[in-house]
């Protein structure tokens, strides 16, 4: 079911692939772009808070994830940026704020690079992969390629087992937190359930997409006010590789480092995140 306001128009990609879109409330529009391997439901707490602050909130499932089309298309950021553009165009949005978590930051960067910022008011990058994760000769502080190869191998051999382990890293659950975990076991189960809704192909292909796509040239397209949020204990997308560097590349960006926060800070630090989002995006 697609929940939509003020209209109930079905949204499709350029290739007519159906995209599942939640469109709630009225006011200044905000698009929430989810991370890997989840879907738009990950934004549950932020959606409610933004609605209460008077925003129109749009959250969609990336193709291959959640209830969007599980196609066999190549899953890459040019396709993802085109899908974001179709959401903006088919919803007739202007002055829209774009909020991207993890690999969702890549959609924002590539969209701005391809389509410009004329219809965008602000951007927010949360635990984002920008500007470039892969370790190369000209990106020595990046993540070794073996890390992404191991992820793909683990997904191919036993996707449920791999995702169960990944969820622990995602939320910072380790031996040090055994007696007082940062999230409940039920919350981790919910996260895994969202991950299982994605197609195996999309889940695997997106590891290559977010791990090996170089966004350094796209960074110059950030010409609107930008808020960057990153956890200092993020084991999935280390702040030193991403948030710290993105903050230096985007002029006048506001940077918030959440002390002790893991990758999944949209749950573990949801109140702090809500406060920062509403402060930056404003109330209506």
Residues noted as catalytic: 102, 234, 263
How far apart CA 272 and CA 49 sit, in angstroms, is: 12
∠73-128-252 over CA atoms, to 5°?
125
What end-to-end distance do the CA atoms of the chain give, in Å?
28
If DSSP codes are grouped into helix, strand and coil, which group holds residue 75? coil
Q: Judge if the upstream peptide bond of residue 131 is cis by omega within 30 degrees of 0.
A: yes
Residue 264 near residue 273 (C-beta atoms within 8 A): no
- Identify the bridge partners of residue 230 per DSSP, sorted by sequence position: 257
CA atoms within 13 A on the CB side of 87: 33
Q: List the strands of the sheet with 226-231, edge to edge.
A: 21-24, 56-60, 29-33, 96-101, 120-126, 226-231, 254-258
Question: How are beta strands 18-19 and 11-12 bridged, if at all?
Answer: antiparallel
């Amino acid at each position: 079911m697609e929940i939509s306001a003020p209209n109930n128009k079905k949204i499709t990609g350029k290739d007519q692939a159906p995209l599942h879109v939640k469109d709630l409330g009225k006011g200044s529009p905000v698009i929430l772009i989810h991370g890997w391997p989840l879907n738009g439901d990950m934004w549950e707490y932020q959606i409610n808070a933004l609605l209460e602050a008077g925003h129109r909130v749009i959250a969609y499932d990336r193709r291959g994830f959640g209830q969007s089309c599980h196609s066999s298309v190549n899953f890459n950021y040019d396709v993802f940026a085109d899908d974001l553009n179709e959401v903006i165009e088919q919803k007739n949005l202007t002055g829209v704020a774009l909020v991207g978590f993890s690999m969702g930051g890549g959609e924002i960067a590539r969209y701005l690079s391809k389509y410009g910022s004329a219809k965008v008011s602000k951007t927010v990058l949360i635990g984002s992969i920008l500007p470039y994760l892969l370790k190369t000769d000209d990106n020595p502080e990046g993540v070794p390629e073996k890390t992404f190869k191991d992820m793909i191998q683990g997904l191919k051999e036993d996707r449920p087992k791999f995702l169960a382990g990944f969820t622990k890293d995602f939320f910072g659950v380790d031996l040090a937190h055994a007696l007082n975990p940062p999230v409940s076991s039920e919350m981790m189960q919910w996260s895994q359930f969202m991950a299982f809704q994605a197609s195996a192909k999309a889940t695997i292909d997106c590891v290559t997409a977010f791990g090996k796509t170089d966004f350094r040239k796209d960074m110059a397209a950030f010409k609107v006010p930008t808020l960057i949020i990153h956890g200092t204990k993020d084991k999935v997308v280390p702040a030193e590789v991403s948030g710290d560097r993105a903050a230096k590349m985007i002029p006048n960006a506001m940077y918030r480092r959440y002390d002790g926060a893991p990758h999944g800070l949209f749950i573990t630090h949801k109140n702090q995140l809500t406060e920062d989002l509403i402060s930056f995006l404003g109330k209506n």
